[in-house]
Amino acid sequence: MSTRRRATLRIRGKVQGVSFRESARAEAQRLGLTGWVRNLSDGSVEAVAEGEPAALDLFIQWSHRGPRSAHVTEVVRTDGEATGEYSLFSVERTS
């Protein structure tokens, strides 16, 4: 039985144009998480991460700060069951 969990995050503030997605990918990979991160049209960033609860908590803590040039004002977190559908953590490009 796996203890892996899923967290979906909506991150608001100055989070686009500051390498937030690439930094999130690097942090998630460092923590052994899988999932994705993408920009949304309203200026926020959305991320779905799956992994061990302790690693998820560290990623969420990082999300409240982001990279040096970001200014995060809000992180909305939704927890769920891990699906195991991701093999790595990627940056999704919006079309």
Annotated active-site residue in 10, 12, 21, 68 = 21
Place of tokens 């069951």: 81
* Catalytic residue flag (residue 93): no
* Catalytic residue flag (residue 21): yes
Q: Detail the DSSP E strand segments found in the chain.
A: 5-14, 34-39, 45-51, 71-81, 89-92
Q: Report which residue type is found at 42.
A: D
DSSP 8-class letter at 86: -
Q: Which of 13, 2, 29 is nearest to 69 (CA)?
A: 13
Annotated active-site residue in 6, 39, 68, 93 = 39
Catalytic residues: 21, 39
